[in-house]
Amino acid sequence: MLSLGSGGAKSTKPSFVSYVTPEEIKSEKDPPKQEKHPDLLPGEVEFCSANPILKYTQDDLSQRGVFGTLFCTNFRVTFISDEKPQEKTDKTFKNKLYGENDIPLMCVDHIYGVYDEKRKLITGGLVKNKYPSKMIIHCKDLRVFQFSLTFSKEEDAKKIFQGIAHHCLEEKSLKCVFAFSYMGTPKMQWKQETVMFDSPEDWTQEMKRTKANCRLVTENENFELSQRYFLQLLLAVESWIFCLQSLFNVFFFVCFFFVLENSTDFWLSDVKWFSSLESSGWLDIIRQCLQKAVEVVECLEKDNTNVLITEEEGTDLCCVISSLAQIMLDPYYRTLMGFQSLVQKEWVAGCHAFLDRCNHLHQKDKEYHSPVFLLFLECVWQLVHQHSPAFQFSETYLTVLSDSVHVPVFSTFLFNSSHHRESVMKAESPLAQSGPLSCPTVWDWSVQFDSKAQNFFFNPLYLEKVKHDRAVRKPHKPKHQRNLSLPSTAFKTPPKKGFFKDETDSLKKMLRVKRLSRWRGSPDAPAATTREFFESWQHRPLDYHGLLLPCLDGPAVHIWMQRYLRWIPEVYILGGGSVAVMTKLMELLSQVQDLKRVLEQRDSSQAAKLDHRPYFQHRLLSFDSSGRLSSSFPFAYTCYRSFKPIIPTGLMQSLMVTDSLASQEDEASSVVSFV
């Protein structure tokens, strides 16, 4: 029983002791004899393992857990329970590459060791000496794993600890990334609908689609000059000064609030939740990015000014701002394929330095690390959250995409530029003659999810544009086609920086220069004109297929709950949350579709008269209707929590000191004592 009330909460940092002694385990049950091994992916190699390891159950304070074997492979850290797997854990939303007890090596964020009840961040130096009694792994997807190493043989424990620490923390070369060993080939040929922007044809196509009035420069085909594609040269901005390091710090700070190891930490941090969130500055950065994108949109819409977004290398915040602006302007980028093409165009072909920014190789030099892509996804999430019917993809899609960045299988996030990719692939390919090695792209979702699970990527509320001519798929034609496709000015060749600087300078001279505000470290009050721009947009009837602007007032900007809170059992609403509504919607949708089918079968001429409203094309999500779903669905599905409510502790933390009002009586006239 939890202790309640003001004094009830444990106010000290919990000590990480196991309350289960080895004797207790033995008495609990006999250790299983047969050895279990993980199902290895093609190309996956097991490095080391240890048994028995206790994996603590996260959602309770009693420090109980499950015994099993811990493995480290060239792909992941994985835990296999000694207990028989429960048969009913067949879930619709299952990742084929890794499960709930797997941590891809790239996904490990920090490892802590508990030595004599003292907790230390594991870095290279600590590994050599003794191993900790408890190992805590914080993941980049915000999961937390806690393993006790005290029950297995000393050398096994030491080996597994050192193995995990080495493979997760030590600097390594790109060649060692699992993607280069992965031999998985998708069963079906991947139907490529996403425009990859790796050929001039793709660019020509995109220019046609957007009716852009520009010339494709192909003289750079062999990446001699730099990898760049100017669709239009757009101008107006002064360079953006923003320190990526500070973005990294802010993000580190914000993650700190979400990676929670136990209930006590959760309730202690709950009291100051809002102010902590604010002081992290993360939401402000999101607001500023969206604000800048709105300013860019405003220039394009109102003044017909072309916009050139520049920063030192043009491949970080430029990508964020230009991608966001395009999503606001062009409904095509709000479809799943369109969005993927946009990421491909602005980020992958646009030379965002994924490898450095995500720090896949654990380089010690922190200067280059920065969660820029995640920042972008979170900005997109704000748009999805505010204007849900305008987006074909769901928030689950964005969450999964954000996770996929740390799955070392996809070529998409492994390189710093297309040039980098080409050269590495050429070098790594065992048979250089027969073409480069092929890693799957993240857009081939069949690598991770079966088609049923992929249905969760689609937003059932998407208001598809009714197509009058079903045969010919018309390109979306927003009214402001002129400036639609904003390329991030994709230069990424540090040695030649000077050249581009000169080039842009001369461009600035040629074109009328209008300066937008610079990026500033502190939140800017939006320019009055931008405010007006938003308000005039707001006064017009909302068109989900037209221009879309975000509301940036305080109460309108939220934290990405699904991504950040999905592993925290304290916030699961059993039988509630938006999934409850979605389940109802899906049930009704399938009823309607069934009815329609029956009617069509009955009479084909009748069917012609039936509705062809867009929602009939929606994919059905299969919700497990047998149990009550929790608000964290489709993530953290295996939450078999009881129906007992979670009662907050530490309630009085901040309310203790109120003014004299608190001690006043409710009624002006005090109680009269009866005798």
**CA atoms lying within 13 Å on the CB side of residue 427:** 8
CB of 78 to another protein, least distance (A): 30
CB of 477 to another protein, least distance (A): 24
> What are the tokens at 21?
């002694």
Terminal CA-to-CA distance of the chain, rounded, Å?
41
| Cβ nearer to another protein, comparing 370 with 382 | 382
CB of 8 to another protein, least distance (A): 10
CB of 2 to another protein, least distance (A): 10
CB of 581 to another protein, least distance (A): 5
**CA atoms lying within 13 Å on the CB side of residue 531:** 6
Q: How far apart are CA 145 and CA 134, in angstroms?
A: 10
| Cβ nearer to another protein, comparing 208 with 602 | 602
Which residues make beta-bridge pairs with 66? 55
Which residues make beta-bridge pairs with 288? none
CB of 3 to another protein, least distance (A): 11
Inter-residue contact 339 to 346 (CB < 8 Å): no
Select from 367, 338, 373, 340 the least CA-distant residue to 354: 373
Q: How far apart are CA 347 and CA 326, in angstroms?
A: 13
Using the 8-state DSSP alphabet, how is residue 13 labeled? P
| Cβ nearer to another protein, comparing 365 with 665 | 665
Select from 633, 613, 638, 636 the least CA-distant residue to 621: 633
Select from 115, 122, 61 the least CA-distant residue to 265: 61
CB of 567 to another protein, least distance (A): 13
Q: How far apart are CA 235 and CA 230, in angstroms?
A: 12
What sign does the dihedral 543-545-547-552 (CA atoms) show?
Answer: positive
| Cβ nearer to another protein, comparing 217 with 463 | 463
Q: Is 505 exposed, middle or buried (0-12, 13-18, 19+ CB in 10 A)?
A: exposed
Q: Is 170 exposed, middle or buried (0-12, 13-18, 19+ CB in 10 A)?
A: middle
Q: In sequence order, what E strands does 450-517 have?
A: none
| Cβ nearer to another protein, comparing 96 with 558 | 558
CB of 561 to another protein, least distance (A): 8
| Cβ nearer to another protein, comparing 252 with 544 | 544
| Cβ nearer to another protein, comparing 506 with 654 | 654
Peptide bond into 52 cis (omega under 30): yes
**CA atoms lying within 13 Å on the CB side of residue 461:** 17
Q: Is 130 exposed, middle or buried (0-12, 13-18, 19+ CB in 10 A)?
A: middle
Q: How far apart are CA 350 and CA 338, in angstroms?
A: 16
| Cβ nearer to another protein, comparing 150 with 459 | 459
| Cβ nearer to another protein, comparing 515 with 539 | 539
Q: In sequence order, what E strands does 355-424 have?
A: none
CB of 455 to another protein, least distance (A): 17
| Cβ nearer to another protein, comparing 162 with 578 | 578
Dihedral over alpha carbons 250, 245, 355, 397 (to 10 degrees): 20
| Cβ nearer to another protein, comparing 1 with 472 | 1
| Cβ nearer to another protein, comparing 61 with 573 | 573
Inter-residue contact 371 to 381 (CB < 8 Å): no
CB of 653 to another protein, least distance (A): 9
| Cβ nearer to another protein, comparing 205 with 276 | 276
Q: How far apart are CA 159 and CA 161, in angstroms?
A: 5
CB of 250 to another protein, least distance (A): 15
| Cβ nearer to another protein, comparing 11 with 591 | 591
CB of 58 to another protein, least distance (A): 16
Strand order in the sheet with 65-73: 102-104, 76-81, 65-73, 46-56, 144-148, 134-139, 108-115, 118-121
CB of 523 to another protein, least distance (A): 6
CB of 621 to another protein, least distance (A): 13
| Cβ nearer to another protein, comparing 2 with 174 | 2
| Cβ nearer to another protein, comparing 85 with 555 | 555
Angle between helices 244-258 and 273-280 (to 10 degrees): 160
Question: How many other CB atoms are found less than 10 A from the CB of residue 454?
Answer: 17
Written as one letter, the residue type at 2 is L
Inter-residue contact 55 to 146 (CB < 8 Å): yes
CB of 396 to another protein, least distance (A): 15
CB of 540 to another protein, least distance (A): 13
Angle between helices 244-258 and 282-298 (to 10 degrees): 130
| Cβ nearer to another protein, comparing 39 with 667 | 667
CB of 139 to another protein, least distance (A): 20
> What are the tokens at 459?
């937003």
Q: What backbone torsions phi and psi does residue 381 show, to the nearest 5 degrees?
A: -60, -40
* Secondary element (H or E) of residue 49: strand 46-56
Written as one letter, the residue type at 12 is T
Written as one letter, the residue type at 406 is H
Inter-residue contact 327 to 549 (CB < 8 Å): no
Q: How far apart are CA 195 and CA 205, in angstroms?
A: 9
